[in-house]
Amino acid sequence: MAVSDVARIDWRHEADVVVIGSGAAGLPAAIAARECGASVIMVEAEDDIGGHAITSGGNVPLGGGNAAQRAHGIDDSPDLMFRDLTDWSVVESNGFPDYRYNDHEIIRAFCDHAATTHDFLLKHGVAFIDQAPDARGGNAVGNSVPREMHCAAMDWPLVQTGKPADPAVRATTSTGNGLMRPLEASARRLGVQILLRHRMIALHRESPRSGRVRGIAVQTDAGVIDIFAHKAVIIATGGSTGNVNFRRMFDPRLTEEYCGLSGMPWSDQDASGEIAAMEIGASLWGLYNQMGEFGYSVTKPSAVGCQYNYQNLRWRPGSRVFHKARAIGLTVGDWQNVITVNMQGLRFYDETGRGFTTNNYNSINPYVQGDWRNAENVRYKANNWLNAAMAGIGDGKNGGGPIWAIFDAAACEREGWVAEPPHVDYAAGFCFRAESLAALAESIVMPHQRVPMPPENLEATVARYNAFVDSGVDEDFGKPKPLYKISTPPFHAAWATPVIHDTRAGLRINAHCQVVDLSGRVIPGLYCGGESSGGFSQHGLARATCQGYIAGRHAMSES
């Protein structure tokens, strides 16, 4: 949509602050602005709130010397956390640095507000599991001290199952439901107006490259409407990894077959916030952080046979989005039970190989902040299953194509798998079954399988692998002592394609979360936080909630 003449717009709604997106950044932004006295409208594209945050594990690394850390004798501070999150010397075993390209202004703001954000979440009903902060779920949270706290499920129905957690574990189960439902309740209680099924499609600025942002255009079921913002618009749209063309600016390999984005099908990350802001002159920022091979930017799936197979998310039939997810997936307990092959039916890597690693508390031990020995002491390990899976087949096209886990009936026995719906998705082409390997290869027909799998390839691959089981040595990829032959029909080919997860590059912001343009100037009246913002390489909830809090509070200072 073209940038419009704001003077002639027939505004349907108005508020002091308009927040786009109701996830980990959006809800805190809305509440914080409301607490400062603003009238607030929050638009959400989906038919429920929460975004990826509500599907998340609820592990929140807000350190900085917060009340929970102090209560358990953990000696953290904004300064310690700042030095951790800007430490040039921390690298992963594949050589990629976690923190080297972070924007110091943005990290400083996070560190200075992290403990306050923790208090803010508590005040608005979030119950953290009553235990010392630890390292569980930590992903680029700094090496020096434990910072992860965990949101308790309590009695909130879980979006994954449609039911609350078992009462016996409600206070000890960590989940994003326990973060987002209390925040939603608090926002509604305070009078934040939440408009569901309202998708922002454009920002209105006084002129295309200058002046204040005055509001947004929104697609609703009844057509396009416009919402006026007296003070500010806050973009909290969750990132860009669901937009194929956008994500391919960072990595040309990430073509259409990577269709199992984590957090889907609850919500997407379609880059709508980034694109709308770029259309009025916004800059992107911290682009290395999207390309670096660390953390969850792309993940190895932990389940096979369904489209949405992100390692920390299983959809169950009671979920309100199960009709979109279609299958639960078969969780792989032991990658010895399968081989993974590409579109041509060829193995490409040791199946037990890991995805990218990430820095966490104690990952480097001993550790001295900024010491050259930290990088020197890291032992190189490629962790290349993902890169091999995305390498492609040499046909001149980008993208690795579908990756298939091949297994037999004996593997189902060992894993306790029931390779039937609702566990696997035969109907949409994410799982296939046949009585022979040749028939299995021929049966694999689905939109992303761009070449037929030659039956003779799959037969030869399995025969060679079975020989490795006999000899105990994987001569091709060094899989540690291959254990099980694939020989008992029926045989299965189950979707095991990498999953795209984090957005770690996005709009350029400053310490107040104000969006900055290509000349380095603030765009008046426009803010951004969470995965749609750039300059901060960290997984998830802490930076999103904290930046939402910062943006919401600062937005009210706009005149």
Residues at the site binding ligand FAD, with contacts judged by CB under 6 A: 20-26, 43-46, 50-53, 55-60, 137, 199-200, 236-239, 262-263, 267, 270, 272, 310, 312-313, 530-532, 539-542, 544
Nearer to ligand FAD, 196 or 473 (CB): 196
Nearer to ligand FAD, 90 or 179 (CB): 179
Nearer to ligand FAD, 44 or 474 (CB): 44
DSSP state letter for 164: B
* Minimal distance, residue 520 CB to ligand FAD, in Å: 24
* Minimal distance, residue 126 CB to ligand FAD, in Å: 13
CB of 247 closer than 8 Å to CB of 294: no
* Minimal distance, residue 263 CB to ligand FAD, in Å: 3
* Minimal distance, residue 443 CB to ligand FAD, in Å: 31
* Minimal distance, residue 123 CB to ligand FAD, in Å: 19
Looking at 47-166, list the stretches that DSSP marks H as alpha helix, in order from N- to C-terminal side: 51-55, 67-71, 78-85, 104-123
Nearer to ligand FAD, 32 or 53 (CB): 53
Nearer to ligand FAD, 2 or 7 (CB): 2
Nearer to ligand FAD, 277 or 523 (CB): 277
* Minimal distance, residue 235 CB to ligand FAD, in Å: 9
Q: What is the DSSP string of 419-436?
A: -STTTS-TTTTSEEEESS
Round to whole Å and give the CA distance between 143 and 63: 12
Round to whole Å and give the CA distance between 19 and 54: 17
Q: How many CB atoms lie within 10 A of CB 445?
A: 10
* Minimal distance, residue 528 CB to ligand FAD, in Å: 9
Nearer to ligand FAD, 55 or 144 (CB): 55
* Minimal distance, residue 360 CB to ligand FAD, in Å: 12
Non-local CB neighbours of 555 within 8 Å, separated by 6+ positions = 16, 17, 29, 33, 38, 231, 232, 234, 527
Nearer to ligand FAD, 304 or 462 (CB): 304
CB of 493 closer than 8 Å to CB of 474: no
Nearer to ligand FAD, 154 or 469 (CB): 154
* Minimal distance, residue 541 CB to ligand FAD, in Å: 3
DSSP state letter for 138: -
Q: How many CB atoms lie within 10 A of CB 6?
A: 18
Round to whole Å and give the CA distance between 296 and 301: 11
* Minimal distance, residue 138 CB to ligand FAD, in Å: 9
Round to whole Å and give the CA distance between 98 and 43: 33
Q: Which residue's CB atom is positioned nearest to ligand FAD?
A: 23
Nearer to ligand FAD, 423 or 504 (CB): 504
* Minimal distance, residue 222 CB to ligand FAD, in Å: 16
Round to whole Å and give the CA distance between 408 and 503: 36
Torsion sign across C-alpha atoms 538, 253, 424, 181: positive
Q: Which of 133, 135, 177, 132 is nearest to 152 (CA)?
A: 177
Element (H, E) at 244: helix 244-247
Per residue in 37-65, is it b (16+ CB within 10 Å) or e — as a string? ebbbbbbbbbebbbbbbbbbbbbbbbbbb
Nearer to ligand FAD, 65 or 534 (CB): 534
- Give bridge partners of residue 202 from the DSSP assignment: 217
